[in-house]
Amino acid sequence: MKRASLGEFEEVVLLTVAVLEVQGQAYGVAITHEIIEETGRSVRLNQIHAALQRLEDKGMVKSEMGEPTAERGGRRKRLFTVTAYGRRTLQEIQDVRASLWTRLVSPFKLSTSL
């Protein structure tokens, strides 16, 4: 696998961005809440911001400023979208895992071995 490595947490964030960008909701707070709900981790805002920034540096996401909203005190949000490179990276990771899963001799199942 010769590509810019993606940390596990970054991967989760990137996936979340991919999920939320459809509704135009891929920005700091929304991503944070989403991840908290999905993974049950206690994530802080700054970690998400840092991860998004790293992803942007790696070229996995790009961003632009959205519309100002009232609850943000009239501040704009930065909306993220996953780039093609980002999608491909996610796909590659997924493929690697899938192929490894298929090669598993006995997949883990909840069973009682007699």
Partner 1 sequence: MKSAPNPPRWADRLLNVICAPDRLEEVQGDLREEFAYQIDRIGERRARWRYVWDVLGFVKSPPVARRHGAYSTTYLMNPTMLRNYLKIAFRNLVKNKTFSGVNILGLALGMACSLLIMLWVQDELSIDAFHANKQQLYRIYMREYFSGKVQGVIWTPGPLADELKKSIPEIQLSTPYEWVSDQTFSVGSKVNKQATNAASADFFKMFSYKLLQGTPEAALKDRNSLAISRSMAESFFGSPEAAIGKTIRFDNRKDLLITAVFENIAKNSTLKFDCLRNWDEFVEDNAWAKGWESTDPLTFFMIRPDADPAKVEAKITHLLDKFNRDGNKPVHTELAMQPFHDYYLNSNFKNAQIDGGRIEYVRLFTIVAVFILLIACINFMNLATARSGKRAKEVGVRKVVGAMRSLLIGQFVGEALLLTVFAIFLAILFVALLLPSFNSLTDKQISLPINDLSFWGILAGLTLLTGLLAGSYPAFFLSALNPIRVLKGAMKVDTKSTWLRQGLVVFQFALSIILIVGMIIIYRQVEYVQTKNLGYDRENLVYFPLEGDLVKNYDVLKEQISQIPSIKHVSHMTASPASNGSGTEGISWTGSDPNGKVRFTPVGVGYDFVETMNLSVADGRDFSKAYPTDSTGFLINEAALKVIGYKNPIGKIINWGNGKGAIIGVLKDFHFQSLHTSIRPLIAYLSTDSRRQGGNVIVRIEAGKTKEALAQLEALCKKMNPKFPFTYSFTDQEYARQYQSEQVVSKLSNYFAFLAIFISCLGLFGLATFTAEQRTKEIGVRKVLGASVSSIVGLLSQDFLKLVAIAILVASPIAWWAMNQWLQGFAYKIDIEWWMFVVAGILSAAIALLTVSFQSIKAALMNPVKSLRAE
User: In 71-98, which positions are buried (b, 16+ CB within 10 angstroms) versus exposed (e)?
Assistant: eeeeeebebbbbbeebeebbeebeeeee
Strand ranges in the chain using DSSP code E only, listed in sequence order: 61-69, 75-82
Name residues contacting partner 1, limited to 84-113 (CB under 8 A). Answer: none
Minimum CB distance to partner 1 smaller for 45 or for 96: 45
Mapping DSSP to helix (H, G, I), strand (E, B) and coil, where does residue 68 land? Answer: strand
CA distances from 9 to 14, 47, 100, 107 (A): 9, 10, 21, 25
Site for partner 1 contains 29 (CB under 8 A): yes
Exactly one of 9, 19, 33, 81 binds partner 1 (CB under 8 A); that residue is 33
Residues 36-75 vs partner 1: string with x where CB under 8 A? Answer: --------xxxx-xx--x--xx-------x---x-xxx-x
Q: How far is the CB of 25 from partner 1 (least distance, A)?
A: 12
Cβ nearer to partner 1, comparing 38 with 57: 57
Name the residues that contact partner 1, by CB under 8 A.
27-29, 32-33, 44-47, 49-50, 53, 56-57, 65, 69, 71-73, 75-78
